[in-house]
Amino acid sequence: MGSDELQLVQEAFATNWIAPLGPQVDAFETEFAAHVGSAHAAALSSGTAALHLALRWVGVQPGDEVFCSSLTFSASANPIAYEAGRPVFIDCDRAFWNMDPALLAEALADRAKAGRLPKAVILVHLYGQSADIDPIEKSCREYGVPLIEDAAEALGALYYGTAPSKGRGQEVKGISPGTRGLCGVFSFNGNKIITTSGGGMLVSNDKALIDKARFWATQSRDPAPHYQHSEIGFNYRLSNVLAAIGRGQLRVLEQRVETRRRNFEFYRKAIGDLPGIEFMPEAPYGRCTRWLTCLTIDPAAFGADREQVRLALAEENIEARPVWKPLHLQPVFKDCPVFGGAVAADLFDRGLCLPSGSNLTEADLERVAAVVRRCHRR
Ligand SMILES: *Cc1c(COP(=O)(O)O)cnc(C)c1O
């Protein structure tokens, strides 16, 4: 937590707004929308809820296909199943780990030929890094397929675009991932770069979309003095108390990005020289927050594989985790179609996420690096 959160929570208590609505929620939405550069925002109980409402807005019907990045957390695709849709997974590109724009174009062409385009594309911005939005948005526009951006892991990241970069000395202004498509999804879960303990945000430039999301999120109450409902609703709103925490957290977001990038720099200097270690590259078209420091290990060159390194860290009571297991390899999604898949599978085999919290001390980082070093040709 930063310095303002407790005071903002006290404001919520002092005004007795302990509800899934209130002035802190309104202010959080306004401040968040301004921060990421979107016209409208709805504060929700989770990023998953935000994705679910986005899919309802595009009108996914049972059996409809929805494209989704394969290398991601299961929450990116679960809401497709909530609506009885069918996930179709798209592999990532080898260079920067996000959805491969060429493969998406291929998949859209394939489905267009068959006369059954997907209801939406869910584009994930992985591990603090923006995907290459321009070509993906262009493909979606070409086929008239709505683009939903899952930016749950990429708050604070920037996308400069693939247009020719500006000359030296000129400021390059980026956009926030999650603000280019039809709508974008963010998460304030406990493990994200800022947190409200749990929460999410849906952003869009389409006011009707956000108004409808708020309506569904508060049990679809018709405008009547009595309780009247013409649609199925959800209990998806963020509490006023948690919104107060979110407002304080938003004020320290830029510091958190700096800290995470500093963690990454430390690791890069400490173990980047080891043969067979390769960090997730930062794409030239954006700024990565380094929400997590991720790397791949080539066992032949390094002398130990990913699991050996992970277990060596665990022996020292240091928790590190493999890169996301691709969704097309998950038992629960085993019958879903996939375009490509080998790249994500390889990153899963060799990929490791190092401890990356904003509260790590230099001594903590040192300790992690020392264990990784020891694994080299042990
Ligand atoms: C965390 C996460 C979500 C879900 O967010 P919650 O707020 O935990 O529901 C969705 N997609 C990705 C990629 C995530 O990392």
Distance CA 155, CA 35 (A): 10
In order, the DSSP letters of 230-294 are SS---B-BPPHHHHHHHHHHHHTHHHHHHHHHHHHHHHHHHHTTSTTEEEPPPPTTEE---SSEE
Provide, for the chain, the percentages of residues in helix, strand and coil under a 3-state DSSP scheme, each rounded to the nearest 5.
40, 15, 45
* Strand pairing category for 40-44 and 65-69: unpaired
With a 6 A CB cut-off, is 76 part of the ligand 1 pocket?
yes
Q: Which of 367, 264, 267 is nearest to 317 (CA)?
A: 367
Per-residue pLDDT of the chain (378 residues; tens, 9 = 90+): 999 999 999 999 999 988 888 999 999 999 999 999 999 999 999 999 999 999 999 999 999 999 999 999 999 999 999 999 999 999 999 999 999 999 999 999 999 999 999 999 999 999 999 999 999 999 999 999 999 999 999 999 999 987 655 555 555 679 999 999 999 999 999 999 999 999 999 999 999 999 999 999 999 999 999 999 999 999 999 999 999 999 999 999 999 999 999 999 999 999 999 999 999 999 999 999 999 999 999 999 999 999 999 999 999 999 999 999 999 999 999 999 999 999 999 999 999 999 999 999 999 999 999 999 999 976
Please answer whether residues 201 and 41 qualify as being in contact, where contact means their C-beta atoms are separated by less than 8 angstroms: yes
Q: How far is the CA of 50 from the centre of ligand 1 (A)?
A: 10
Give me the pLDDT at residue 204, please.
Answer: 98
Show the tokens assigned to 176: 């926030």
CA-nearest residue, atom 5 of ligand 1: 47
- Tell me the C-alpha distance between 237 and 63, whole Å: 28
pLDDT value for 167: 55
Q: What is the pLDDT of residue 19?
A: 84
Half-sphere exposure of 306 (CA within 13 A, CB side): 19
In this structure, which residue's CA is closest to atom 6 in ligand 1?
47
Report the C-alpha gap between 41 and 133 in whole angstroms: 20
**CATH 3.90.1150.10 given to domain 254-377:** yes
| DSSP symbol at 373 | H
Q: What is the pLDDT of residue 65?
A: 98
Domain chopping of the chain, boundaries: 5-252, 254-377
One-letter amino acid at 127 equals Y
Torsion of CA 84, 88, 93, 99, to 10 degrees: -40
Q: Is 324 in the pocket of ligand 1 (CB under 6 A)?
A: no
Fold of 5-252: Aspartate Aminotransferase; domain 2 (3.40.640)
> Ligand 1 center to residue 190 CA distance, Å?
10
